[in-house]
Structure 1
């Protein structure tokens, strides 16, 4: 499974305005709504599910990265959105540092294996310091998408 299998190109944002965890989750998920992959009727329920997951423990994994996620019955397939914050957001990350890179994942409840594989894939890429640094430097959604494709091909520097 590759990032490009579930990251929705139209749901990439490089200039988050939000400054709190609930606002960030809402803003990032809105990209999937705008792309037509979440319905207006299900939007609030998805937000609530993601924030409920956050109450179990922050998905801020450290190094300026967070991976908010949930399984939700409205998802017909794995859905991923990527967002960058220039200012950084207090997200209760494990290292106590602000978060600049967000990978949001929503998956159907009946596909727990795919959900875990997607999380593993995201985490593997986000442990690559070079990938994260280049991601943070991206100025456009197209640059983020190109970086994702390049990382999948193993063409990142240092590999």
Structure 2
């Protein structure tokens, strides 16, 4: 009888350790709650974007602002990466051209088509991508939209067209 009690207590303690380890290791905690983030406005290099709910920002993207060159111009580049799950991403880069004079035609490498989204003209393309999440393989389109706003180059990659439509304003 005492041997069974010891085994039950050991199993109970192992179960508690596993439960607390799972709760402590959850990467999606926000303010102590386990739910996806709400829609929010973020500023990237002087331009405000409305990120829809459910997109979590990658931890490394907070400090991704640095000096760079773009088409032989000295620029300040800021980029932020978000994901909704292991498959769907949202990637935004904004280049501040400072005093350089830049036109929309300087963005097209020949693979983009001219398109207007919410009244903003830019270059758009779609590519088929293959993503993996564990053993799950997924093929889906990835949308790219590049445009110039307030002497800044905005480049957006997104796996959901509706999200792209919400971002471009």
**TM-score normalised according to structure 2 size:** 0.27
**TM-score normalised according to structure 1 size:** 0.28
Q: Larger relative CO (CA 8 A, sep 6+): 1 or 2?
A: 1
Q: Which has the higher strand share?
A: 2
